[in-house]
Amino acid sequence: GLTNLRTTHRLDRLTSGLLILARNLSTAQKIEAEIRDRKVVKEYVCRVEGEFPKDPLECIEPIHVVSHRLGVCTVDPRGKECLTCFERLSFNGTTSVVKCKQ
């Protein structure tokens, strides 16, 4: 069974996010190190109001963590460098489906 699971990381708490669990301490530490060292690629699909541009977009802005506990971040010159690429997957006349990749 799934006993003694360790909570390793919570990605994007404010958007319901993803909870990563590990079965043992060594795996938990490896996952934590990969996230900390930015070896994990985050890719999301979201629906946005309106028509998102057809051409891919890149956003290069420093992200500062306001609260680790709440998972609140903001664009701030004191933050870590961050590159997010956006690509429109579809548009239905009212909303767009967009892939976001960090």
Q: Which of 12, 37, 55, 76 is catalytic?
A: 12
| Gap between the Cα atoms of 77 and 75, Å rounded | 7
From first CA to last CA, the distance across the chain in angstroms is 34
The helix (H) or strand (E) run that includes residue 9 is strand 6-11
Catalytic: 37?
A: no
| Gap between the Cα atoms of 67 and 9, Å rounded | 15
**Nearest by Cα to 28 from 10, 47, 49, 45:** 10
Q: Which residues are marked as active site? A: 12
